[in-house]
């Protein structure tokens, strides 16, 4: 079949495209598709960029970046189209046509939003999927890189390591997380005690604002540049790319893992760790993972604390340090492994150590259903409190649950709370992220797993930060409160806003009011503008 050329018959082409996709011409969706098709200008581009619901590739494009199968059920609201721009003009056109025809836009980079906000909405919406915006340009001479938002952290780390083994970037541990969402919420991993968050190391960005203007740091101004580095995604504009500062790492780092279960004094060692870990040198990263495991007694379960970490240095230095400061851990040489920084990315990402090429594979790990919640801890939890936490992991719903507990301190203590929107800096001993997981086949029973995570969260109340009870926006939790579909007052949004951003929430609202007063970029937990048009109309 020969398709007509745009230059010959633009309108006919749109009709052909829509009839091929089965779209009914009288539907409002048609106006959007018509608008976009006219702007994209030729059939071959349209077929690579627009995936309407009847397109045979619609489901595979939609599902390719769903990383929480809780939001992949027949009942989950679906976008009426997924747009996968090939160039900046396609992004602007999508924005223009969504605004013109009143469709909500959900921007998706890696698709790891734990509440599915980049690909689910209760109102008619389209997904702007940045899967073709994955270019990475590493400049080792100036120790900087440009990374497009759709690139995964694995692709970024791979690109850096392809050029040098003594530079790195301090971002998250899961290789399939996208730069776009991750940097928009802060982003931390094994280098954060030494260098801070990913967002702390961003030095420029390229963004399209609600008016379709392409802005860089200078033209967007310092307020907006501040807000996009941690104020949460889908709020201030569409970030196309980020300029990042690379950080030095030694050619050899040392990773370690020590497992302690309840019978091996896990509770006591965890208790002691709280007094020590945040004060250790910033070259050391240390994380505790709490999970349910098989006990040495056949048929019985126990709870394990996995102490996993990395020193930017050699094994002898690590063992001397831990034996001196934290002998209770019993770290021995057999728990340690010297390797390059890029191999440590595989180690912490739960990937086989054979080849770094796996960092380019978005399907290397299985996708599950999950619910996450987070806390910050400022005072050591008493032993009895830790015992209670551990015992909750023996419950039936916790078979695939994990509490991830990275020690804070180091560089995080040096960065003022208002430097970026992410406010959880000095004074935190650690963050705790609780994740409960189940299979897609168990989605009908998701309620029981979600209830478990709420009970755990409630149990932790006396031991964690208060007024506000702080939370990490990158482990988004809609239990904390949501926006209305239309007008959301400052007071209403403050309920979750202060938990994520503390006093920085006020400045985020001011920036939002300035750059997107009509609240076009929005989701259930985006920053609302101060006086939205609905309010002005007296609704
Ligand atoms: P996704 O594409 O879903 O976007 C997340 C949010 O940002 C959405 O609201 C989206 O609309 C918006 N957005 C995306 N791209 C945008 C753009 N270009 N411009 C504007 N808005 C945009 N965190 C951490 O700090 N350290 C870690 O080690 C991990 N590890 C981890 C593992 C796993 C398995 C999960 C599920 C999550 C994490 N996270 C994490 C949390 C992660 O940082 C967080 O979910 C990020 O928002 C994911 O970014 P994505 O681009 O993948 O998500």
Q: How do the pLDDT tens digits run along the chain, 539 residues long? A: 332 333 333 333 444 454 444 444 557 788 999 999 999 988 888 999 999 999 999 999 999 999 999 999 999 999 999 999 999 999 999 999 999 999 999 999 999 999 999 999 999 999 999 999 999 999 999 999 999 999 999 999 999 999 999 999 999 999 999 999 999 999 999 999 999 999 999 999 999 999 999 999 999 999 999 999 999 999 999 999 999 999 999 999 999 999 999 999 999 999 999 999 999 999 999 999 999 999 999 999 999 999 999 999 999 999 999 999 999 999 999 999 999 999 999 999 999 999 999 999 999 999 999 999 999 999 999 999 999 999 999 999 999 999 999 999 999 999 999 999 999 999 999 999 999 999 999 999 999 999 999 999 999 999 999 999 999 999 999 999 999 988 999 999 999 999 999 999 999 999 999 999 999 999 999 999 997 555 554 44
Which class is domain 136-248?
A: alpha beta
What is the predicted pLDDT for the residue at 28?
A: 73
CA 181 to ligand 1 center in whole angstroms: 4
CA 56 to ligand 1 center in whole angstroms: 27
Mutate which of 64, 174, 181, 191 for ligand 1? The one with the most ligand atoms within 8 Å of its CB, which is 181
Reported as type and span, the H/E element at residue 10 is helix 10-21
Q: Nearest C-alpha to atom 33 of ligand 1 is from which residue?
A: 174
- Kindly give the residue spans of alpha helices, DSSP state H, lying in 217-360: 217-220, 222-228, 266-276, 315-325, 341-348
Using the atom order of ligand 1, give the atom closest to the CA of residue 176: 52
Q: pTM to 2 decimals?
A: 0.95
CA 151 to ligand 1 center in whole angstroms: 12
What is the dotted CATH code of the domain comprising 253-338+368-460? 3.40.462.20
Q: Is residue 182 within 8 Å of residue 220, measured between CB atoms?
A: no
Cα radius of gyration (the chain): 24
Q: Is residue 324 within 8 Å of residue 279, measured between CB atoms?
A: no
Mutate which of 133, 169, 180 for ligand 1? The one with the most ligand atoms within 8 Å of its CB, which is 180
What is the predicted pLDDT for the residue at 533?
A: 54
Task: Name the residue among 247, 254, 246 with its Cα closest to residue 340.
Answer: 254
Using the atom order of ligand 1, give the atom closest to the CA of residue 177: 52
Q: Is residue 169 within 8 Å of residue 194, measured between CB atoms?
A: no
CA 115 to ligand 1 center in whole angstroms: 10
What is the predicted pLDDT for the residue at 78?
A: 98
Q: Nearest C-alpha to atom 9 of ligand 1 is from which residue?
A: 233
Taking CA atoms, 136 is separated from 88, 104, 158, 169, 501, in Å, by 16, 29, 10, 13, 30
Which residues belong to CATH 3.40.462.20 in the chain? 253-338+368-460
Q: Nearest C-alpha to atom 43 of ligand 1 is from which residue?
A: 182
Using the atom order of ligand 1, give the atom closest to the CA of residue 234: 21
| Chain centre distance of CA 22 | 35
Using the atom order of ligand 1, give the atom closest to the CA of residue 372: 36
What is the predicted pLDDT for the residue at 44?
A: 85
The answer for residues whose C-beta is within 8 angstroms of residue 38's C-beta and 6 or more apart is 10, 14
Mutate which of 62, 82, 109, 434 for ligand 1? The one with the most ligand atoms within 8 Å of its CB, which is 109
Phi-psi region of 467 (alpha: psi -120 to 50; beta: other; left: phi over 0): left
| β-pairing verdict for 238-245 and 202-208 | antiparallel
| Cα gap 206→208, rounded to integer Å | 7
Q: Nearest C-alpha to atom 49 of ligand 1 is from which residue?
A: 181
Binding-site residues, ligand 1, Cβ < 6 A: 67, 106-114, 117-118, 130, 149, 172-174, 177-178, 180-182, 184-185, 187-189, 233-234, 238-239, 474-475, 523
| Cα gap 242→134, rounded to integer Å | 11
Is-catalytic flag, 490? no
Strand partners, 254: 311, 338
Q: What are the structure tokens assigned to 327, written together?
A: 């002998």
CA 322 to ligand 1 center in whole angstroms: 33
Q: Nearest C-alpha to atom 22 of ligand 1 is from which residue?
A: 233
| Cα gap 392→376, rounded to integer Å | 19
Q: Nearest C-alpha to atom 41 of ligand 1 is from which residue?
A: 474
CA 202 to ligand 1 center in whole angstroms: 16
What is the predicted pLDDT for the residue at 27?
A: 75
Which residues belong to CATH 3.30.43.10 in the chain? 29-129
| β-pairing verdict for 430-438 and 401-406 | antiparallel
CA 475 to ligand 1 center in whole angstroms: 8
Angle between helix 88-100 and helix 28-40 axes, rounded to 10 deg? 150
Q: Is residue 149 within 8 Å of residue 237, measured between CB atoms?
A: no
CA geometry: angle at 301 spanning 299 and 303, to 5°?
165
CA 426 to ligand 1 center in whole angstroms: 24
Give the DSSP letter string of 438-489. Answer: E-GGGGGGHHHHHHHHHHHHHHHGGGS--SS----GGG--GGG----SS---
Q: What are the structure tokens assigned to 264, written together?
A: 């091996």
What is the dotted CATH code of the domain comprising 29-129? 3.30.43.10
Active-site residue, selected from the candidate residues 463, 475, 487, 500:
475
Using the atom order of ligand 1, give the atom closest to the CA of residue 67: 36
Which residues belong to CATH 3.30.465.10 in the chain? 136-248
What is the predicted pLDDT for the residue at 14?
A: 46
CA 110 to ligand 1 center in whole angstroms: 6
Q: Nearest C-alpha to atom 25 of ligand 1 is from which residue?
A: 187
What is the predicted pLDDT for the residue at 11?
A: 39
Using the atom order of ligand 1, give the atom closest to the CA of residue 197: 25
What is the predicted pLDDT for the residue at 8?
A: 32
Q: Is residue 535 within 8 Å of residue 491, measured between CB atoms?
A: no
């Amino acid at each position: 079949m020969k398709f007509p050329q745009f230059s010959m018959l633009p309108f006919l082409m749109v009709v052909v495209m829509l009839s091929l996709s089965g779209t009914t011409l009288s539907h409002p969706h048609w106006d959007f598709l018509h608008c976009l098709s006219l702007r994209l200008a030729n059939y071959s581009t349209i077929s690579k960029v627009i995936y309407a619901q009847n397109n045979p590739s619609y489901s595979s494009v939609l599902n390719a970046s769903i990383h929480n199968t809780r939001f992949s059920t027949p009942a989950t609201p679906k976008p009426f189209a997924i747009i996968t721009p090939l160039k900046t003009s396609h992004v602007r056109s999508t924005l223009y046509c969504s605004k013109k025809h009143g469709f909500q836009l959900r921007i998706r980079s890696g698709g790891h939003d734990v509440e599915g906000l980049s690909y689910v909405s209760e109102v008619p919406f389209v997904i702007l999927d940045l899967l073709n915006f994955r270019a990475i340009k590493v400049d080792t001479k100036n120790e900087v890189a440009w990374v497009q938002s759709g690139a995964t952290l694995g692709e970024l780390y791979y690109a850096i390591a392809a050029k040098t083994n003594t530079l790195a970037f301090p971002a998250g541990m899961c290789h399939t997380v996208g730069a776009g969402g991750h940097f928009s919420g802060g982003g931390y991993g094994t280098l954060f005690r030494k260098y801070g968050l990913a967002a702390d190391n961003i030095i420029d960005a390229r963004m399209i604002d609600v008016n379709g203007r392409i802005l860089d740091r200078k033209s967007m101004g310092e307020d907006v540049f501040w807000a996009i580095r941690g104020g949460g995604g889908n709020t201030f504009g569409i970030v196309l790319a980020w300029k990042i500062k690379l950080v030095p790492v030694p050619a050899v780092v040392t990773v370690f893992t020590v497992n302690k279960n309840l019978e091996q004094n896990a509770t006591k060692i965890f208790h002691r760790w709280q007094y020590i870990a945040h004060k250790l040198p910033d070259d050391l990263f240390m994380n505790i993972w709490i999970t349910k495991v098989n006990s040495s007694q056949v048929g019985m379960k126990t709870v394990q604390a996995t102490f996993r970490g990395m020193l930017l240095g050699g094994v002898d230095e690590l063992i001397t340090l831990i034996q001196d400061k934290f002998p209770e851990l019993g770290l021995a040489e057999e728990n340690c492994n010297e390797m390059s920084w890029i191999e440590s990315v595989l180690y912490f990402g739960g990937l086989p150590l054979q080849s770094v090429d796996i960092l380019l594979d978005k399907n290397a790990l299985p996708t599950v259903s999950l619910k996450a919640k987070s806390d910050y801890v400022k005072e050591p939890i008493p032993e009895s409190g830790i015992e209670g936490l551990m015992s909750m992991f023996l419950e039936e719903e916790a078979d695939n649950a994990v509490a991830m507990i990275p020690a804070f301190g180091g560089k995080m203590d040096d960065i003022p709370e208002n430097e970026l929107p992410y406010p959880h800096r000095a004074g935190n001993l650690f963050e705790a992220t609780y994740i409960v997981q189940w299979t897609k086949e168990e989605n009908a029973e998701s309620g029981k797993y979600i209830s478990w995570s709420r009970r755990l969260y409630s149990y932790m109340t006396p031991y964690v930060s208060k007024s506000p009870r702080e939370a990490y926006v990158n482990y988004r939790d809609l239990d904390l409160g949501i926006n209305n579909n239309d007008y959301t007052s400052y007071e209403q949004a403050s309920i979750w806003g202060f938990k994520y951003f503390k006093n920085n929430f006020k400045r985020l609202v001011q920036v939002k009011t300035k750059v997107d007063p009509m609240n076009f970029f929005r989701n259930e937990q985006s920053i609302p503008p101060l006086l939205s048009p609905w309010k002005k109309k007296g609704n």
